[in-house]
Amino acid sequence: MGEVALNGLSKRYPGGSDLAVKEVTLTVADGEFMVLLGPSGCGKSSVLRMIAGLEPITAGTVSIDGKVINKVPAKDRDIAMVFQSYALYPHMDVFNNLAFGLRRRSVPRGEIERRVNATAAKLGLAPFLKRKPHALSGGQRQRVALGRAIVREPKVFLFDEPLSNLDAALRVTTRNELIRQQYDIGITTIYVTHDQVEAMTMGHRICIMDKGEVVQIGPPLAVYRDPVNTFVARFLGNPPMNLMRVALETDVGGLRLRLGKTAVPAEPWPADRLGTLGSGALLGIRPEDLYEASPRPGDDSVLPLPATVAAVEPLGAETLLVLTLDGIEEEVIARSGRETRLRPGERATIMLDSAAAQLFDATTKRAIARTPV
């Protein structure tokens, strides 16, 4: 068992006037893989360090399996952590790095050898057990750091940006390795990253943080599809969601959202909520919901937008189009197939899938929920 619950967790660093972490409340279920995602300085690592017991808690509680552990020293929390720098003991070989934590817990020598060898075999480290960390590659060091956590068989794993020191190719393979290991072992995992690809691919749920606060928690695709505010909308997705200012207008067909020269139907959102939008709204649309192809006949939600191509960015698998929509100042980005023939300066008609669009209050930046169907 290893359910981790944070209740109103806050942190103020000595000399700091503001809270670095503000009343974070979340529960990570036993065996769950939770990713804390946010920009640098958003407080996600502070949360992790408070869970680990490496940082004093200013307010709130951390519980494991219902037991508050605020006063329990780090060494007695039964938590293993993988650090960004790996933190391998440079004076010990791989075997001793793996065995160090077990020795302190008075595990019998034979059992230590069995567990270290089993972990090394699982992670492909068996040939390197006698090597010191300086004689290992970055990927091997990362696996030793992971092995040091696994061999302890703790209640909770904590990962603090463990892949950020690896090169791009190694990061992908190690990421898959981590997902597989967590799936096999099934230990509750809290993983801190600022890399949205890691968050989307690894977590059962993502907790997005900004300025010390939890902004949104949910399964990766749910958070991607329904961001609660413009911060999440822009932070998740690469390229990020396009946000375009729209004005509300009423015509014979009812409420409309005026996007340049195009009128977007406003039926998906509650009319009474739209009526409260004083300074207008922001229409959010993901680049993959703007495309070149013609709509299927009868697909009323797809609207044509006249535009001028500002730039074409071929990425190999796909091509990004930077567009200036008629009557709109902001440039938007659309995903297109790799075979696009559009060139900068050309006119184009881009299709907008309004069924996938999000609407945000321009003042509060919060999403406006759609009317339940």
Which residues of the chain form contacts with other proteins (CB under 8 A)? Answer: 14, 49, 52-54, 73-77, 79-81, 83-87, 89-91, 100-101, 104-105, 148, 152
For residue 298, the minimal CB distance to other proteins (Å) is: 59
- 33 or 86: CB nearest other proteins: 86
For residue 55, the minimal CB distance to other proteins (Å) is: 10
The tokens describing 193, both together, are 């990253």
Q: Which long-range contacts (CB under 8 A, 24 or more apart) does 200-205 make?
A: 200/224, 200/236, 201/175, 202/33, 202/35, 202/175, 202/178, 203/33, 203/34, 203/35, 204/32, 204/33, 204/34, 205/32, 205/33, 205/34, 205/35
- 53 or 218: CB nearest other proteins: 53
The answer to whether 200 and 191 are in contact (CB under 8 A) is no
For residue 199, the minimal CB distance to other proteins (Å) is: 22
For residue 185, the minimal CB distance to other proteins (Å) is: 17
- 29 or 74: CB nearest other proteins: 74
Query: What Å distances lie between residue 231 and 17, 96, 182, 282, 355, CA to CA?
Result: 24, 45, 29, 12, 21
The answer to whether 265 and 211 are in contact (CB under 8 A) is no
With vertex at residue 122, the alpha carbon angle to CA 121 and CA 125, rounded to the nearest 5 degrees, is 50
- 49 or 286: CB nearest other proteins: 49
For residue 80, the minimal CB distance to other proteins (Å) is: 6
For residue 69, the minimal CB distance to other proteins (Å) is: 13
- 14 or 372: CB nearest other proteins: 14
- 133 or 218: CB nearest other proteins: 133
